[in-house]
Each structure stands twice: as C-alpha cells, then as structure tokens.
Chain A
Amino acid sequence: MDISGRHEEDGEYLMVAAAVHATVGTTRLHSVQGMGFAVSYHEPTLSATTGVVAEAVSDPSAEPIVAERGEFYEEPEWMVEQYLEPDFKYVESIAERETVQAAHHAAYAARKLLL
C-alpha cells in the first residue's frame, strides 16, 4: 500500500491511500487480485494514516499489509499492527517494493483525479 498527499495545500489535507492486493515471488509481482482506495481529510498523524490504509484494504484476507519504511514514520511494526487489523510488515523483497511502487502510482493518480 501507499499514501499520496501527506502535505497541506491551502490549509487543507487530502490523503489518498491505495492498496494493491497481489501475489508475489522474489523479484516479480505475479498477479493482482484487486485494488482498494480510501480518502482522508485529516492531518497525517499515525492514527489517521493507519486509519485510511485500513479502510483501503478492502479484502480482510489480504495479509500481510506491506509499506515503505517511511510510511508510518519508522514506527516499529508491532506498533503499526495495533492500529491495523491484519499483520503488517515493512518492505523486504524486490517484489514487495515493486508492488508498493504500483500502489504509489495508483494513489498518486487517484489523488490527481480528485483534485
């Protein structure tokens, strides 16, 4: 998953989270099962960012949720898991990075459509 729009514009926030539900190998994204989006107008606190991600993950069976290290302010994985229902981990393999990259493009494009 990835979040676009953590910055303030004209005194307002518009965070868009995209979740890509995929099966992966070591270096390749094998297949995409589905995608989910969610929007938040709150400041990007840990609680707001995890909230919008949890909402974007529409399929509860999709585990673990994977994000770049900076996404949740480098907080330890166990702490992020307190906010999210499913298991959570930071990216490790090349395939996971590729998938997060896909989510990044989706979140960025969705936010541009909304503006």
Chain B
Amino acid sequence: MKAILAKRVDDGTASIDELAELARAAGYDVAAEVTQSREEDAAYQFGEGKVAELAATVTERGAGVVIFDNQLGPYQTYNLGQRLPDGTRVIDRFRLILEIFGQRAQTRKAQLQVELAELRYELPRVEAKTSLAKRDERPGFMGLGEYDESHEQDIKDQISRIKDELDVIADKEADRRQKRRESGFDLVALAGYTNAGKSTLLQRLAAELEIGENDELHPDLDPTAEAEDRLFTTLGTTTRKADIERRDVLVTDTVGFISDLPHWLVESFKSTLDAVYYADLVLLVVDVSEPMDDIREKLVTCHDTLYERNQAPIVTVLNKIDAVSDEELEEKRRALSALAPSPVAISGKEGVNIEELKRRIDIELPAWEFERLVMPMTDETMSVVSWVHDHARVEDVTYTDDEVVVEFEARPSIVQQSRSKASDLTAAPSA
C-alpha cells in the first residue's frame, strides 16, 4: 500500500529518514513526504493550508494511508480523516510501530505485549469518543453514551487480564534468571537502538548451542537469532550460551530501543526489557558508521530507556567499525567520551576485536572468588564434588582416606552455596 509520510517540527528542518525506514519495515511503499515547520495546530497538527496540500498529495499519488511522525491526539486523527479523501487511514508513529510489532510477534508473550500496547493506545481515544458522545447523549435503549462506556470498560478489563497473564510470564522468567545464576551462569544482555547490529553480535559471541545437562532449565534457548538489516527484526528475546574467557555466560538479545516512545509503550514491553534491566552486564551496542549527531541522539535514547530501572554496569560497544576509517573512529570516540567513557570498538559482521570484547565482558562481570573446600568423606560427598564441577571452574581435587579437598573459582553466590553444602556434610554422621 502506498503511504504519504508527514512530519511537523517547531522550527528547523524536519528529518523523515527514520519514519521512512519504519514505514518500509511495516511493508508500506513510501510515495511522498509532506513536512512543515511551525507551531502545532490543535485541530490538525499541520496548519490548514498544509492539510489541503496533504489531501491533494494523497489523491495525486493514490495513497491509502498517511503516517505522521508526530503523536496525533484522538481529535486530530478524526479531523484529519474528515479532510482527506474517503477511505484514507491516518496513523501516527506509535500506531506504525505497533503495526510492525504486530507483524513480527511470534511468541505468546510478544503477542500479549503488542495487544496490551494497542489497548493502551486505544483507551484515551475511546474515552475521547465517550466524552464527545456525552455532550450529545441520547439515553435509553442502545444509547450511544452507554454503548461507548461499555466499550471503554471492555478495554480496561482486557488490559487488566493481559497484565495478569504477563505478570505470570514475568514471574516465570524471573525464576528462570535466578535458576541460571544458581547454575553458575553470568547473564549478559545486548541493548541498543534498533538496527545497531545486536543480533549479528549475538551470533558472533554465541557458542554452538549446548546447554547439555541443564536443558530443562532453558526451554527458551533458541539456536538462532534472526539478523537482518531492518528495524525491529528482533521482537522477543533470544538467549544463547557463550564461552567468555573462563566463564559460562548466557547472552540475551532483545528488542531495540527507539526514540520518543511514550511511557505506556515502553511499559507494555516491560517483561521483555527485564532481560536487560536484571542482567549482570549490559552491552550497549551502537552503530558507529552513522553520523555523529545520530549516534549521540540514539545513545541518549538508550540511556533514557535504561535510566529508571537498569541495575547493571554498562559497556558501550561501537559496532560496524568495518564501515569507518581509523581516523573517523578516533574522532567519534573522542566526541562520545562523556556518554561512553571507555567503549570497545568491534565489527560483529567481520568478527574484528571480538576477543577484546570477551576480555572486557570478563572484567566487568561480577568478580569470581577462589575457594578451597575441605570436606569429610561421607556418602554424600561425591555428589557435592559433582555439583561444584557443574557450577564452578574446578582447579584441583585431592582425595585422602577421610577427606576431599576441592579448589575452585566461582561466582560469590556459588561459593556461598558450596560452603553450605559442605557444612551439611560435616553435620552428617560419618560412615
């Protein structure tokens, strides 16, 4: 379907590149662009003259949809619809993003999140219709006001039902994260603006998928992360195992960030973003081949999105260095020094500097502790030794007639657990 793109800015020149990419990602054919630099018109977003120009462009190009980069209020959407040729859909950037999400949502969770976001988008519009209807209320059988109010209540009920179901999913995922930590895994999340190259980097970092004996703990592990040069290729999360130096790491690829998303939309994808918020380390991936102003703006968007809830340290990864010269890379590093004090520059596509990134991940993850456990030889001792082998990096095991000494390195929480298991053995009667 042909689409006309529209954007208003208060002053300066309106850039429509990202909206055009989003429109293409949703499957629209961009037929024309109409932009305006002026204060917002409360009734139409554009000024009336520009609305007439927009209507003429729709007719001339045979477009079926007009996509605004600006957020449209319910009344603006209605008013624009009245002025455009019959049958022309009017949507804004958020509606467009929801359409893309709707097309890409594969899992139950992604579908629920999209549905929730759509309902949250719809609710104020239905409330507006209700308030319009109430001005002209016709009470009684099938009265418009009553019908609309029930529709509003319907939406609220659906929102509440979906939130409950998503909460259950979020709880399961929190349990899974906890189990993985207890299994000795460090959790690394890939975050960043949409199309920064996160999925390609995941493929580069991930080992062949071998979860082995812990299979039942990881039913969601997917052997492939889709990577394509388009926005929002990844909508759910993909987790894969990676060997980073001495550690067992699970790397999670997640949905890309995008600027100016309203709070309710980010909130709808809360459980997907939890993978980032509750990781042990976040790799913030940036496409360094883009113009400096775009990089800065996108990094600020990422920091905005992460600010409220992120708990992990962040390492900024300057990706796609294969597309820039050494001089340009150095210049960009300097310009970004406040936002990204010590970034790692890599190429996910070409595999450049991946080893350096792995070293950096090892340094930034929670420090491992060295432990030397001395355990009495009981019927249960060998199962503790086996557990330590599964959850830590064992350096040496020494057996004597009545003792076993295990020397190993592990996460602090694993060391704590091993001590507790060892003290249980001490309390047990000797064989």
Contacts and interface: CB of A to CB of B under 8 A. Distances in A.
Interface in B313-365: 313-314, 316, 338-341
A26 B306 contact: no
Contacts of A28: 313
B175 to A, nearest CB: 27
Interface string A25-54: 111100000000000000000000000000
A25 B341 contact: yes
Interface in A80-110: 92-94, 96-97
A26 B310 contact: no
Contact of A97 (B307, B316, B341): B307
21 contacts: A26-B313, A26-B314, A26-B316, A26-B339, A26-B341, A27-B313, A27-B314, A28-B313, A92-B296, A92-B299, A92-B300, A92-B339, A93-B303, A93-B338, A93-B339, A94-B303, A94-B307, A94-B310, A94-B314, A96-B338, A97-B307
A46 B303 CA distance: 27
Interface of B: 296, 299-300, 303, 306-307, 310, 313-314, 316, 338-341
B299 A27 contact: no
Given A26-B340, A92-B299, A94-B303, 13 more contacts: A26-B313, A26-B314, A27-B313, A27-B314, A28-B313, A92-B296, A92-B300, A92-B339, A93-B303, A94-B306, A94-B314, A97-B303, A97-B307
Nearest to A90: B300
Given A94-B303, A97-B303, A27 B310 contact: yes
Contacts, number: 29
Interface of A: 25-28, 92-94, 96-97
A41 B137 CA distance: 51
Nearest to B299: A92
A26 B341 CA distance: 6
A28 B314 CA distance: 10
Q: Which of A25, A26, A27, A97 has the most CB of B within 10 A?
A: A26
Question: Which secondary structure dominates chain B's binding surface?
Answer: mixed
A97 B307 CA distance: 8
A70 to B, nearest CB: 14
A91 to B, nearest CB: 8
Contacts of B338: 92-93, 96
Q: Which of B296, B306, B339 has the most CB of A within 10 A?
A: B339
Contacts of A94: 303, 306-307, 310, 314
Nearest to A89: B338
A92 B335 CA distance: 13
Contacts of B307: 94, 97
A28 B303 CA distance: 12
Contacts of A92: 296, 299-300, 303, 338-339
A28 B316 CA distance: 14
B9 to A, nearest CB: 14
B12 to A, nearest CB: 11
Q: Which of A28, A94, A96 has the most CB of B within 10 A?
A: A94
Contacts of B316: 26
A105 B340 CA distance: 26
B257 to A, nearest CB: 13
Contacts of A27: 310, 313-314
A26 to B, nearest CB: 5
B140 to A, nearest CB: 48
